[in-house]
Amino acid sequence: MADPIRFEILGRSKRGLARLGRVTTPHGTFETPAFMAVGTRATVKGILPPQVAATGTQVVLNNTFHLMLRPGEETVAAMGGAHAFMGWAGPILTDSGGYQAYSLADINDIDDDGVTFKSIVDGSRIRLTPERSIHVQNRIGADIIMAFDDCPPSMDPDSGPTNQSRIRMAARRDAERRRGYDHAGRLRLANERTVRWLERCRQAHQRPDEQALFGIVQGGTDLDARTWSARHVTAIDLPGYAIGGVAVGEPHEEIVRVTRHTAPLLPEDRPRYLMGVGYERDLVAAVLAGIDMFDCVLPTRNGRNAQAFTRAGPVRLRNAAWAEDPGPIEPGCDCPACAPGLHGWTTPDGRPISKSYIRHLFMAGEMLGPILVTLHNLRHFQRLMLDIRRAIAEDDWPAFAREWPLAAGAVPAEVWCAPASGGIPPQG
Amino acid sequence: MADPIRFEILGRSKRGLARLGRVTTPHGTFETPAFMAVGTRATVKGILPPQVAATGTQVVLNNTFHLMLRPGEETVAAMGGAHAFMGWAGPILTDSGGYQAYSLADINDIDDDGVTFKSIVDGSRIRLTPERSIHVQNRIGADIIMAFDDCPPSMDPDSGPTNQSRIRMAARRDAERRRGYDHAGRLRLANERTVRWLERCRQAHQRPDEQALFGIVQGGTDLDARTWSARHVTAIDLPGYAIGGVAVGEPHEEIVRVTRHTAPLLPEDRPRYLMGVGYERDLVAAVLAGIDMFDCVLPTRNGRNAQAFTRAGPVRLRNAAWAEDPGPIEPGCDCPACAPGLHGWTTPDGRPISKSYIRHLFMAGEMLGPILVTLHNLRHFQRLMLDIRRAIAEDDWPAFAREWPLAAGAVPAEVWCAPASGGIPPQG
């Protein structure tokens, strides 16, 4: 059986456990550390695939949950799979649908076999099991598919500072049903289920030489639970592993703590994917902990809501201060809005698109506002990844920190200095 | 005083009064007969200016009414005018704001001096007069600006088959106020006002060597009123003239009748602009009547509503028939959706974007649906104009009719054969 993907490590940083790599898939390669653009319903909202590619994005994420409900996996399969369906020739990853089933839907039942929930499209009763998730992902046809896991709240919903109210609500319903919520017990159950379900996913996988199945380590913020999960998940031989249940509302320090503990427990020679993370500082810290792949809705979702990312911090483009500001979102940025001339866009006197104009678009409810800021934000994150990869290749993090002072400055000092305890020391 | 625009007639068709031309403006040239894309709030909804240009669009229309309310003409001026504001280096035309004041707003008062209405943005009381409209258009800075006219209902609102309910409602309010609506009288008043206001527009115009002021002929569907208006409007020497009040709900035959009557009454050596028209058959018939410029919301507005224009007729992309249709919107079309490979968009196996995918985008409420169909529709209209210009240049309308059988077939026979009565016979 041919391996569906190949992971090459091309370089390592002396700082931390960062590695530079390349993943080769049936639909081309992507460089790691990689940031995947989120294309929930087989579209990065408002952005044509060639525009996505022009931001430097090499791999796109689609959501199994959304596509199985609409248009349905059989439609995607009939159109030749996700790549042909959305017109994206590069690598695609699908999640398992589990996270959305837990966080978006009305859960009717969770048991050892799977999850039953109400469709957000038509209210019908939907059953998702490890076998069903993998079948759907086989039909959608992404290059990397994710195990179906039990995704509990990362912290005790009655005490922890989580901002994901839906997950908390689901946990509370869960708690009510069980008449007495035992967070440690719930995590243990989720951990055990996740391993049992992973084995079922592996066995259900019908296209193992075309699609790489990644296992997911859970365990919330309990490091012992993470250790247990990592040991049992990685005992199942798979082309890659992910850390799940991290970016669900914890502060930066918790993300760093869990990632630094868990990443080194994953096999050195497989890509490591930190799901749903995150802000720039989170990405830098996670790369230094040995993470290779990321996805996050921040550039696209916040962009649609008029928040631009810049190296000097976020810019809220609805702010009245920009009403007559002729400057671009971020001087020096090479995105289509900040540097239209680099993108075949002739403007009068070669001027950039002004914050004044973008504010006007948002105030008027015009689609072009979300489009321009999404393009800017995706480019912002891809430039961050480019600079991270350069920092690893040249082992020059001080140069990186000069370019990204806020992101680098927010990373705890110990992350820069030494491998995490329990980690595998850098090689090569 | 330098002329702000130059109009050259490059060729004439032996059929009808069609002419091939070129308009040179301070921001470049456009070929005529020209179709202008509507960019109401200084944006063609969802489409970046380089994408607009790639459809073959050479001139864009902005709406004075919308821009004066938001962001305000002083903001547009402070940003360097409409071209710099929206990042469009080519020619721009602004309407006067009159049509929207009549059709969109709650009119408080119409008198000989101007119109008072309620802002659709914040409900405040806004006064629009010929002087104010021209001042606003001077500040916005388009290459072609339009006279502020009195825009009455084209037909008696109590009898005519108009589908523009808002105009009808405004007329009814008008009628109630006057206790006894006299349609002929209202048209006469509007005609007389339009001429008086045109003279005031001309005198108020502060940038006559940078912006070409076009007069507008009114008169509804009453050909005598059109004749009277054309005579008095063209008595004021201006760089171009428009026919207004036509595309407000009349059937094709009425549009053709009024246009064939009125267009030849406009000076031969100035561009003639038929405002707000229309469907493909309307454009063909109007070109044959001697019209040089068009604008219409059909490709953009209908595109956002999932209606694609094709040579075989409209395609409604939400239709369940397309759920698993792998074909493009229109085989042979060279737009980004139908022929992505021509637009730097690499798809798997070079496949076009399927109707199945576009339907999915609309069903899911995804922005990319409106974007793709708008791009297709704009290209459809620009290909129509290209083929119209070729038909004039080569004097080969039969070839045109083979390419556009539905559009050409709907044009009344007499339009193809002879100049309209009263028209100036084709020269050269």
Q: Does B239 touch chain A if contact means CB atoms closer than 8 Å?
A: no
Looking at the domain assignment, is residue B228 inside a domain?
yes
Domain for residue B106, yes or no? yes
Say if residue A133 is in the same domain as residue A224: yes
CA distance A198 to B319: 40
Question: Over pLDDT 90: what percentage of chain B?
Answer: 78
> Judged by CB atoms within 8 Å, which residues 366-395 of B form the interface with A?
366-368, 370-372
- Is-catalytic flag, A95? yes
pLDDT reported for residue B166: 53
For residues A332 and A240, membership in a common domain is answered with: no
Q: What is the pLDDT of residue B303?
A: 98
How many CA atoms are closer than 13 Å to the CA of B203, on its beta-carbon side? 9
At residue B119, what is the residue type? S
Measure the CA–CA gap between A86 and A206, rounded to whole angstroms. 23
Same-domain status, A232 and A142: yes
> Residue B183 has what pLDDT?
74
pLDDT-based confidence at A192, cuts 50/70/90? very high
**Domain finish residue from B258, B277, B296:** B296
> Under DSSP, is residue A222 helix (H, G, I), strand (E, B) or coil?
coil
Asked if pLDDT for residue A53 goes beyond 80, the answer is yes
Question: In the predicted model, what is the mean pLDDT of residues A228-235?
Answer: 98
Q: Which of A50, A87, A364 lies nearest to residue B344, judging by beta carbons?
A: A50
In chain B, % of residues over pLDDT 70: 90
Q: Does the pLDDT at position A423 exceed 50?
A: no
Report B:24-53 residues touching A (Cβ under 8 A): 27, 41-43, 45-50, 53
Candidates A4, A2, A13, A3; CA nearest to A419 is A13
Q: Which among A79, A345, A357 has CB closest to B85?
A: A357
What average pLDDT does this structure show over B348-358? 97
Residue A266: DSSP 8-state: S
Distance CA A227, CA A408 (A): 28
Q: What is the pLDDT of residues A336-351, one digit of tens each?
A: 999 999 999 999 999 9
Kindly indicate the confidence band of residue A178, based on its pLDDT and cuts at 50, 70 and 90. low
> For residue A380, is pLDDT > 70?
yes
Strand B144-146 and strand B125-128: pairing? unpaired
CB distance from B83 to chain A under 8 Å?
yes
pTM above the 0.90 mark? yes
CATH number at B61 reads 3.20.20.105
pLDDT at A1: 55
Q: Same domain for B335 and B395?
A: yes
Q: B126 and B211, same structural domain?
A: yes
CA B283/CA B263 separation, integer angstroms: 13
Task: Decide if pLDDT at B12 tops 90.
Answer: yes
The residue among B57 and B414 whose pLDDT is bigger is B57
Judge if ipTM > 0.85. Answer: yes
* B302 domain-assigned: no
Q: Determine the Cα–Cα distance for residues A130 and A108; give it in Å rounded to an integer.
A: 17
Answer whether residue A314 is part of any domain.
Answer: yes
Contact A80 B348 (CB under 8 A): yes
Contact A85 B356 (CB under 8 A): yes
The stretch B186-206 carries a mean pLDDT of 94
Q: Show the tokens assigned to A176.
A: 């009510």
3-class secondary structure per residue, A101-169? HHHCCCEEEECCCCEEEECCCCCCEEEECHHHHHHHHHHHCCCEEECCCCCCCCCCCCCCCCCCHHHHH
Q: How buried is residue A178: exposed, middle or buried, by Cβ count under 10 Å (0-12/13-18/19+)? A: exposed
Phi, psi of B379 (to 5 degrees): -65, -40
Choose from B47, B76, B79 for mutation: most chain A CBs within 10 A.
Answer: B79
Q: Are residues A49 and A165 in the same domain?
A: yes
d(CA A114, CA A129): 4
Do residues B194 and B256 share a domain?
yes
Single out the residue of B45, B7, B46 nearest to residue B23, CA to CA. B7
Is the pLDDT at A103 greater than 80? The verdict is: no
| Residue A346 resides in a domain | yes
Could you give the C-alpha distances from A222 to A257, A385, B72, B227, in angstroms and in order? 10, 29, 56, 85
B44 with B174, same domain: the answer is: yes
Which of A262, A296, A330 is at the close of a domain? Answer: A296
Position of tokens 């005529």? B32
Judge whether A416 lies within some domain: no
pLDDT band at B169 (very low <50, low <70, confident <90, very high): low
Instruction: Please tell me which residue, B388 or A417, carries the higher pLDDT value.
Output: B388
Q: How many domains does chain A have?
A: 2
- What domain range is A325 assigned to? 307-410
Which of A246, A277, A296 represents a domain boundary (last residue)? Answer: A296
Instruction: State the Cα–Cα distance between residues B54 and B36, nearest whole angstrom.
Output: 13
Cβ neighbours, 10 Å, residue A180: 7
Mean pLDDT of B253-269: 96
Which chain A residues touch B336 with a CB distance below 8 Å? Answer: 48
Q: Which of A223-232, A354-363, B96-105, B186-195 has the lowest mean pLDDT?
A: B96-105
- Domain assignment present for residue B159? The answer is yes
pLDDT band at B274 (very low <50, low <70, confident <90, very high): very high
Do B361 and B267 belong together in one domain? no
Nearest Cα residue in chain A from B320: A71
What integer pLDDT is reported at residue A248 of this predicted model? Answer: 79
pLDDT at B134 over 80: yes
Q: How confident is the model at residue A182 (pLDDT cuts 50, 70, 90)?
A: confident
The predicted structure's pLDDT at residue B416: 86
Q: Are residues A250 and A337 in the same domain?
A: no
| Across B327-332, average pLDDT | 98
Whether residue B424 is predicted with pLDDT greater than 90 in this model: the reply is no
Do both A260 and A331 map to the same domain? no
Kindly list the residues from chain A whose CB atom is less than 8 angstroms away from the CB atom of residue B47: 368
Are B315 and B292 within one domain?
no
| pLDDT top residue among B425 and B118 | B118
In a domain, A426, yes or no: no
